[in-house]
Amino acid sequence: MTLQLDTACFKNLAIVAHDDGVWVVTLNRPTKRNALDSHTIEELVEFFSKAPRAGVRAIVLAGSGDHFCAGLDLIEHHQADRSPADFMHLCLRWHEAFNKMEYGGVPIIAALKGAVVGGGLELASAAHIRVMDQTTYFALPEGQRGLFTGGGATIRVTDLVGKARMIDMMLTGRVYQGQEAVDLGLAQYITKGSSLDAAMELARKAAQNLPLSNFAICSAVSHMQNMSAMDAAYAEAVMAGVVNTQPEARARLAAFADKSAARVRPNS
Ligand code: 1HE
């Protein structure tokens, strides 16, 4: 049974569902550069908890205004004067949201522009594909603010760029942008035009795959990274047993066999 997802309940996220199953989720606090306050985190938890059961086939995650996301809401944090335990629990909500994204089984394409910094980079790194435009830049300014990462950068950003670069970014506030950011793995695509348009195109492509294949790609790969090689190989075989025998795939295999399916060719 498909879960109902009432988009009208969201205040800090603008959510638009398209007929082809692609949903566009936009961080919608442009006057605050889409800084992540505690309410936005709760909305991310809510949306990404329900999306896998709501018939969502792919998600584009974007930011309104000129910047994708300025990270932790520093003003809220300053004013709340949180206790260590309070902030720990808040970080656990960030992890809840970002783990639902990474392990949820629905492809998420982040459309990046402007600042993708601090917690904004942590959010982007929980997506499966990152597309940047010419304005996009990445940084981890926590060190300069007297803070430390709390939304998974030690894991996900380190996975993307490696430990030495991650530590350098945190110690020195180093900014990466342009082709160099792609070469390092912070984004997989850079566009001359709008990253939103490019992300939509990728999402539409991914949405054409069978949902169970996408579930495996956008869930099992991450889980397997957390396992020993032996266990990962075992889990891969089990997952392939389920996915590669799904009845919905038979028509696609038949199309290959009768030569009506597209062949894989080099880019022209
Ligand atoms: C904010 C935030 C924010 C902007 N929290 N309110 N993150 C940072 O250290 C990034 C801090 N932000 C910036 O460096 C800049 O604001 C930007 C590069 C993102 C954008 O610059 P600009 O010139 O377009 O905007 P602005 O004039 O700096 O800010 C416009 C408004 O957005 C202003 O509010 P206003 O009410 O005075 O108009 C800013 O206060 C507000 N704003 N960024 C709150 N981050 C789980 S731990 C994660 C740790 C972290 O993420 S550390 C945060 C790192």
Residue nearest to atom 24 of ligand 1 (CA): 33
| Distance from C-alpha of 214 to C-alpha of 94, rounded to nearest angstrom | 24
User: Residue of the nearest CA to atom 37 in ligand 1?
Assistant: 32
Active-site hit among 46, 76, 142, 248: 142
Residue 2: predicted pLDDT:
86
Q: Which of 33, 88, 137, 166 to mutate to test the pocket of ligand 1 (most atoms within 8 A of CB)?
A: 33
Instruction: Going residue by residue through the chain, which has 268 residues, state the pLDDT in tens, using 9 for 90 and above.
Output: 789 899 999 999 999 999 999 999 999 999 999 999 999 999 999 999 999 999 999 999 999 999 999 999 999 999 999 999 999 999 999 999 999 999 999 999 999 999 999 999 999 999 999 999 999 999 999 999 999 999 999 999 999 999 999 999 999 999 999 999 999 999 999 999 999 999 999 999 999 999 999 999 999 999 999 999 999 999 999 999 999 999 999 999 999 999 999 999 999 8
Among 37, 68, 74, 121, the mutation site with the greatest number of ligand 1 atoms within 8 A of its Cβ is 74
Q: Out of 42, 43, 122, 248, which one is annotated catalytic?
A: 122
Active site residue 248: no
CATH superfamily, with its number, for domain 7-207: 2-enoyl-CoA Hydratase; Chain A, domain 1 (3.90.226.10)
Domain limits, the chain: 7-207, 227-257
The tokens describing 82, both together, are 């949180």
Residue 122 appears among annotated catalytic residues: yes
pLDDT of residue 173: 97
Assessment of whether the complete model's pTM goes beyond 0.95: yes
